[in-house]
Structure 1
Amino acid sequence: MSTRMVYRNIASVGGASKRPGSYEFSAANLSSRSVGRDIDPVIGIDHFHIRAPVFAPHPHAGFSAVTYLFEDGEGEFINRDSLGDRVVAHPGAVIWTVTGSGVLHEEYPATHGKLSHGLQIFVNLPAAEKLQAPRLLFVDGPDVPVRELPGARVRVVTGNSGDVRGKLTAPGDITLLDVKLEPGAAFDESFPADHSVLAYVIKGSAFVGREDRRLGALEAASFAEGDGAIRLRASPSGAQVVLLAGRPLREPVVSYGPFVMNTEQQLAEAFEHYRAGGMGSLAPANGT
């Protein structure tokens, strides 16, 4: 007797909002507001194209700042931080900065004019981890495990897909999958019932969820917790879709600028920690 697959319903649909940009840097932002629903534990996502150093060294605290580079990038990408790390990342890499109590970092393409294309994903940390020491997690592009299926290629950045497990263990048991589908191909992925899921279309278009809702590039669907798999089916143009899943924290969030905490007092303490030099120092490397 065969068991029919159960698929999750879509909770909301939205899209990334493009910001004013330039040849050197442009981005589209995905947030709770643009999706139309809380996407906890994700705070927001910047889908970026960058060809030159743009941002000077800057602080973060209280969350994970995740840079995922797509494979279509043209060159290496540098990440530096006040912990003394200097990572040279190739297309397809993931750089997961667990900012904790606070760290300074900067990121930029290694060669001016060569495109780096990716997502910067801001993932909230639970209260118990917000004040822990910062640390850097990294898996380079060629080292990210890949699951091959008929018509589908899945890069398992974190978490697992089928029997393929990512090499990076992310705080909060976050799953990040980069799914490329040939025209008309389908892909199903199950997640724990207590995890919310976000599907974001990078290229092409795909039919998503039990409703078979068609989403184009820069559009996203949010799925509530519950039993059932996430269904993706590519249109005749094919599709690239990122799936991001995690357990909602449902904790108070107080944020200002680069800091995300649980209380106003913690936020004030983070600013004081930064001003006092407690997050270290980092001189610009590239004239930013």
Structure 2
Amino acid sequence: MARQGYSDGRLAIIAGRGLLPLHLARAARAEGEDPFIVALKDEVDHRFDDFESISVGVGNLAAIEKSFRDLKIGRVVMSGGVARRPEWRDIRPTFKTILKMPSVVRTLMSHGDDTVLQMVIKLIEAMGCTVIGAHEIAPALLARLGPLGQVSPTGDDLRDIEKGTEAALALGQLDIGQGAVSVGGRVVAMEGVEGTDAMLQRVAELRQSGRISARRRGVLVKLCKPQQDMRADLPTIGPSTVESAVKAGLAGIAVEAGRALVLEEQAMIAAADAAGIFVCGIEPSLDHGGLQ
């Protein structure tokens, strides 16, 4: 007899690196949920002692499906970063995914993150679950429009935001990354697989070497990819982003309002205000690559 889906059943949170999975687990519990945590081995970097959980390899689909079936999981949220894609030999398929293995391996080896995430969503849905977005569990984490702290962008900063927006949208269209840094109206860095903090470290090194003018500060822009599925991998900033931006000598950070997540907002704003940099939510224009 075919298994029925549990689309209104228990919530599972697939947890990778970073604080987002823990924030989601706490937000879900505050709303009366009893979230089950799927902690990805060698990726997750926080403990979930207060929650029922399982630790599995990122490619162990069989163990994940068994847990979902036993616990009547109906909704699944994917959260946190994954630094390493599984090798084909790491994948432990379910009966339903064995026939899909050739396409799964090809996708892992030769496609961008957005395509891989779409594949993962389809595999989870094949288990009878509904994949939902982090913002559906914790809508308060979504960035608001306008300055979040006491500092606002200047005219020069707005020009950098516009140039950074153009670059971030172009980068996202290629399914490469979500962020770009513009200094003095010139794009000096674009995010790749290394992530935002590593990109900002690169900017700091370029500034220290004199490749970027010390007189011009610049802006980090983080946006959803034009083809972004809101159920996975939304742009995320927090206190560590502010710390990295300060080390890079930037004037501020701009993120997409309503489509980016802000973690530990009060601590982040306090750090930004203390450093004299702005954090603001923007609405990018897909037609002009600028701001509405």
TM-score of the superposed pair, with normalisation by structure 2: 0.30
- Larger helix share, 1 or 2: 2
TM-score of the superposed pair, with normalisation by structure 1: 0.30
Point out which structure has higher relative CO (alpha carbons under 8 A, 6+ apart). 1
- Highest CA radius of gyration, 1 or 2? 2
- Larger strand share, 1 or 2: 1
